[in-house]
Amino acid sequence: MYYSIGEVSKIFNVNTSLIRFWEKEFSILKPKKNAKGNRLFTQKDVDNLHVIFNLVKERGFTLDGAKKKMKENKDDSLNDVEMLKSLKKVRSFLLDLKEEL
């Protein structure tokens, strides 16, 4: 399954130009391109973008800092992103529960 650049930008609520920029900056991102040149992102690309988004936008890393962190401890960064997703789900559940009470 592939995601278009528009779908990916909606997932992260960023402009498509930022996704294209990150693609140039981070060699780990390698979307396929169709005959028209449209980018097609795999789930692995989206997972890597989650890590990049977390490091740059949520944790405030510079691009160089994010690249270094991903090279040194990509697994740790990926685990942090997964934990953050889980915590956001729990928070959402608790807020829904609170409103029902």
Q: Is the pLDDT of residue 31 over 90?
A: yes
Average pLDDT over residues 65-81: 76
Domains assigned to the chain: 3-100 (1.10.1660.10)
Q: Residue 76: what pLDDT?
A: 67
Q: Which residues, 6 or more positions from 12, have their beta carbon under 8 angstroms from its beta carbon?
A: 19, 49, 53
Q: How far apart are CA 14 and CA 82, in angstroms?
A: 20
Nearest to 49 by CA among 37, 58, 35, 86: 58
Please, what is the average pLDDT of the chain?
88
Average pLDDT over residues 41-45: 92
Q: Among 4-8, 25-29, 71-75, where is mean pLDDT lowest?
A: 71-75
pLDDT at 14 over 90: yes
